[in-house]
Amino acid sequence: MLNSYQTYVDAGIESLQQWYNPTQGLWDTTGWWNAANLLWVLLEYTEKTQTTGYLPIINHIFEVHHGGNCINDYYDDEGWWALSWIKAYDITGNTNYLTLARTIFADMQGGWDTTCGGGIWWSKERSYKNAIANELFFTVAARLYTRASTAPNAMDYFHWAYQEWTWFWNSGLINSYSLINDGLDHNCQNNGGVIWTYNQGVVLGGLVEMYQITHDESYRTVAENIADAAIMQLTDRMGILIEPCENGDCGADGPQFKGIFVRNLATLYQVLPKEIYRHFILTNAYSIVTSNRLAAHQFGLKWAGPVDNVDAARQGSALDTLVAAMSLNLT
């Protein structure tokens, strides 16, 4: 049963699609990796509403981009696309989508080496090992294992996920406050970099997947600690999620981040239904529609409002939250 947020989501996605460029299979006003996350919004909406209206666009995006296998010079960019094509497979059963995700992950494996004891590099330039690339590598590996369990190399995906998490846990990226900094310095130490919201989110998805695979409570416990820390420390006094760059310049990337945290928190909620998570999602969704929405159902960066600017990244991030709220029981 869907709640009243569906009305806002329906209208918000229509507004998002005004930026869609069918020639490029991307969204104007935002970038390549953002597009993978906007594709995720369409997929999540399709799944939650059990509708088919956006399936042709989803397949069109595949047709435009699968020739290049969604591979570029940045392993994190690749990870976003892999996650979305796994999601597309889940919804449609189209094995072409899963094959593409596996192809992307095979390329991501090339980023792993023994520098800092393991982990993948952020880019093929091999100058920085950061949190987001490794969180994505972890989550993609775990999700591929559960979906390719009959493939001859299925255990390879599990081993990659296990190896990545073992490295990540020991890397120092998770600080003493149970929050994840941006990356490692040249001495392989936590660089004290910005605590972006999405770095607290993607890891939750991977940890939930590993918990479901292994039934090892340690995965769920770490996810709970990170989620609780983010909710306590990355919000304003009303409980509204804040990106650290909001009072400055979030560039093209930052506006996308918060929705990624919320979408993964919703995944954690499915296996750990704490009231604090439900309340957080609904509180932020309510603030978005009441304080951060234009008449055309466009949303800004600051979820407490007012609307600062509109673009596809801001729209997608807000929609991540509204889609998560859409299927929560309000009573």
Query: Where do the DSSP E strands lie in the chain?
Result: 20-21, 26-27
Range of the domain at 125: 5-326
Closest to 54 (Cα-Cα) out of 87, 98, 30:
87
| Residue 164 and residue 119 in contact, taking contact as beta carbons nearer than 8 Å | yes
Q: Is residue 218 part of a domain?
A: yes
Alpha carbon separation from 320 to 41, 141, 159, 211 (Å, rounded): 6, 23, 30, 23
In CATH, what number is assigned to the domain containing residue 101? Answer: 1.50.10.20
Total structural domains within the chain: 1
- Distance of alpha carbon 79 from alpha carbon 189, whole angstroms: 24
- Distance of alpha carbon 57 from alpha carbon 59, whole angstroms: 5
pLDDT in tens, 35-91: 999 999 999 999 999 999 999 999 999 999 999 999 999 999 999 999 999 999 999
Return the pLDDT at 329: 56
Please name the amino acid found at residue 331: T
Identify the H or E element spanning 316. Answer: helix 312-326
With a pLDDT cut of 90, the percent of the chain lying above it is 95
Assign 129 to helix, strand or coil: coil
State the pTM of this model. 0.97
pLDDT surpasses 60 at 2: no
List of residues 6+ apart from 164 with CB closer than 8 A: 118, 119, 120, 134, 137, 138, 141
Q: Is residue 331 part of a domain?
A: no
Residue with tokens 């490692």: 184
Residue with tokens 């055309």: 296
Q: Is residue 16 part of a domain?
A: yes
pLDDT in tens, 284-319: 999 999 999 999 999 999 999 999 999 999 999 999
Average pLDDT value over all residues in the chain? 97
Q: Is residue 268 part of a domain?
A: yes
